[in-house]
Amino acid sequence: MDNKNTLTIMDVVSPFYTQALMHLGVMKLPDMDIKTDLNLAKQSIDLIRFIETKTKNNLTEQESKTIQDILTNAQVLFVETEKKEKEINKKSSEREEK
């Protein structure tokens, strides 16, 4: 197989990372209106973690580090987004009570 057509682990992980960012509201596409969805973001992050687990000891050091960096970033963004969503929901509930 020609090296130009060889898939890398990043070719597998990147779409899930992109989906996570989109569902966290961090990445927006001009022609798509995607609402923040923590469940779908978590699912994408979990799939990256699954890939990381299943490929353990079969990746280069750089590939492992890159996947770990992606997971860390996605998890931090998830926690931040979850916190913002809770604050928005709390404010909304307080307004409804008044």
Residue of 78 and 2 predicted with greater confidence = 78
CA 64 → CA 12, 13, 38, 90, distances in Å? Answer: 13, 11, 25, 39
Instruction: Report pLDDT for 30.
Output: 79
Residue 94 pLDDT exceeds 80: no
What the block records as the tokens of 48 is 């990256």
In this prediction, residue 98 has a pLDDT band, given cuts at 50, 70 and 90, of low
Residue 31: helix, strand or coil by DSSP?
Answer: coil
pLDDT bracket for residue 40 (50, 70, 90):
very high
Give tens-digit pLDDT for 78-93: 999 999 988 887 777 7
Q: Residue 58: which pLDDT band, with cuts at 50, 70 and 90? A: very high
What pLDDT score was predicted for residue 1?
46
